[in-house]
Amino acid sequence: MSRMTRGSDSRKMSKGRRSSLPVEEAGEDREGPLKKGPWTSAEDAILLEYVKKHGEGNWNAVQKHSGLSRCGKSCRLRWANHLRPDLRKGAFTLEEEQRIIELHARIGNKWAQMATEYVIRKFG
């Protein structure tokens, strides 16, 4: 079994880590580097129009077909957490708050299970 000596290969990666390519290299097959940071209203409009035309689904195709310089994950999260028309933000109603307290007392901190039971009871 051979060992690597110090400095023999500075590019060696730790187990489970991805290559740390600069943004410019990671996005070279596209029109330019992927954009990071806050979304602009123009980008929101492009994403809204894309989803309106093509629907939700293959988020990696959004960048390819819409011209956005954002990765698919960023587009999916922007849609799910900010732009979705049925997204409701704000305070819970008294009924919702009471139901959450009831479910928490019965189930504990299993929030996904609580959400499933809430939806089934309310809509199903």
The tens digit of pLDDT for each residue in 27-38 reads 444 457 899 999
Which of residues 13 and 66 earns the better pLDDT score?
66
Whether residue 12 contacts residue 4, with contact meaning beta carbons closer than 8 Å, is answered with yes
Helices (H), the chain: 23-26, 41-54, 60-66, 72-78, 94-107, 111-123
Q: Name the domain count of the chain.
A: 2
**49 & 76 share domain:** yes
pLDDT confidence bin for 124, thresholds 50/70/90: low
The stretch 106-124 carries a mean pLDDT of: 82
**72 & 115 share domain:** no
**34 & 60 share domain:** yes
The tens digit of pLDDT for each residue in 61-113 reads 988 888 899 999 999 999 999 999 888 888 989 998 999 999 999 999 998 99
Whether residue 66 contacts residue 50, with contact meaning beta carbons closer than 8 Å, is answered with yes
